[in-house]
Amino acid sequence: MVRLARRALVLALLAACAPAEAASPRARPGRGRARGELVLDGVRTRVTWTDGDTFVIRSGPRKGRTARLAGVNALESYGPVHRFGGWDRDDLYAVAASSAALAARVVPDCAAGADDRYGRVLASCPAAAAALVRAGHAMVFAVDGPADPALLALQREAMERGDGMWARGAPAEVLTSLHSADEPGLGGRGYDRVADTRSGTARTVPHRRVYATCQRVCRGDGPDRSCMIHVPRELRYRDRPWCLR
């Protein structure tokens, strides 16, 4: 009995001294991954969702390829880089990091399209897109034309309810990606991508600025202020800078 009591005391002391991060739901890189299935061009396919709009194909003819959902955009899950509304950095990141699990709960019919500029398969998965937008875990993101009216209606409803990323405010525009003018392949002309939450359209804002690692870039004022932290792609998962730790 004495030994058991001592052992219990030791275990309790170890638990009390453990780092707070070990028990926290807030987030290490990759913690947002979730396994799921979908039907891709008629073939039932195993996938791993890496965030709310990207998945890696684990079976079938395109095994090993990465795919990107068309028509929607989820918050980045590689780190706490988004700032808007009344969110603090970690709480908004928690929304981003939980989006993959939400996507994995749907088994959608998907159609593969052309590759994007990063070599990812653009996949149209209407049921997954609708589930994410309805829950406020993705925003409508129409690049080459008008937004899908049904998706836009779901987004308006999610914003009115304050679901997901809209729980503490919905700016008119959200910065979704930053591209510094010194990024390879851009020829000295950078651009930022901005999603209009009213129309659902995504547009590029050209510039010639060189962004420092961990620099904050913002658009808008007051409740319409949206910011994002610049982290070069090569530093998002290895040799991560201080702002992602």
In the 8-state DSSP scheme, what is residue 101?
A: H
Q: How many CB atoms lie within 10 A of CB 53?
A: 29
Cβ(171)–Cβ(226) below 8 Å: yes
Maximum pairwise Cα distance, the chain: 73
User: Which tens digit of pLDDT belongs to each residue from 159-200?
Assistant: 999 999 999 999 999 999 999 999 999 999 999 999 999 999
Half-sphere exposure of residue 191: CA atoms within 13 angstroms, side-chain side = 10
Residue 144 confidence (pLDDT): 87
Residue 7 confidence (pLDDT): 41
| Model confidence, pTM | 0.85
Cβ(178)–Cβ(228) below 8 Å: yes
- Stretches where the chain sits below pLDDT 50 are 1-30
